[in-house]
A and B are shown apart, each in its own frame.
Chain A
Amino acid sequence: MATEITTPVFAALQQAASAAETATRTVTMPVGVPGFTLGEEERTVPVTEPPVLPINKDLEFIGKPIERWDGYAKATGRARYTADVALPGMLYARFVNSSVPHAKIASIDTSEAERMPGVKGVHVIETFLGGAELRDPSLEQSKYPVVRFAGQPIAAVAATTPQAAEDAAAKIKVVYNTLPFVVDENIARSANAPQVFPGAADQAGTAGGGGSRAGIPQTGNVHGPSVRKEGDAAQGFKDADVIVDAHYTTQVQTHSALETHGVVADWKPDLLTVYASTQGTASVREELAGYFKLPMSQVRVITEYMGGGFGAKFGAGNPGVVAAILSRKTGAPVRLMLDREEEHLSVGNRPSSDQRLRIGAKKDGTITAIQLISYGTAGCGTGAGCSGPAANLYKWATLHTEENDVFINAGPAAAFRAPGHPQGAFALEQSIDELAGKLEMDPLDLRDRIDENPVRRVQRQVIRTSEIWKSRNPKPNADSGIVKRGVGLSQSIWYRHLNYNSAAEVRVHKDGSLEILSAVQDIGSGIKTALAQIVAEQFGVPPAKISVKIGDTNYPPGPNSGGSVTTASISPAARDAAWQASQKFLASVAPGLGAKASDLTLSGGMVRSASGKFQPIAFRTAAAKMDTDQVSAQAKRVRDYDPKKYITYGGIDCAEVLVDTETGRIRVKHVFSVHDCGRPINPAQVTSQINGGVIQGISYTLFEHRLLDPNYGLMVNADLDKYKIAGSFEVPKIDVQLTEVYIGQSSTDASGIGEAAGIISVGAAIANAFYNATGVRIRQLPMTPGVVLAALNQPQQMMESI
Chain B
Amino acid sequence: MTHWLHRTAIAGLMALTPLAALADETPVKGATIVVTYKDDIATLDPAIGYDWQNWSMIKSLFSRLMEYTPGTADLVPSLAESFEISPDGLTYTFKLRKGVKFSNGREVVASDVKYSIERAVNPKTQGPGAGFFGAISGFDDMSGGKAEGLSGIETPDDQTVIFKLSRPDATFLHVLAINFASVVPKEVVEAEGQDFGKKPVGSGAFVLKDWVIGQKLVFEKNPNFYVADTPKIDGFTVEVGQEPLVALLRLQQGEVDIAGDGIPPAKFLEIKNGPDAADIIVDGEQLQTGYVALNTRVKPLDDVKVRQALNMAVNKERITRIVNGRATPANQPLPPLMPGYDKDYKGYAYDIEKAKALLAEAGYPDGFTTALYASSTDPNPRIAQALQQDFAAIGVKAEIKALANANVIAAGGTEGEAPMIWSGGMAWIADFPDPSNFYGPILGCAGAVQGGWNWSWYCNKDLDARAIAADSMSDPAKKDERAKLWGSVFTDLMADAPWIPVFNERRVVAKSKRMGGPGNIYIDPTRVINYDAIYVKQ
Question: Do A and B come from the same complex?
Answer: no
**A-to-B contact residues, CB < 8 Å:** none
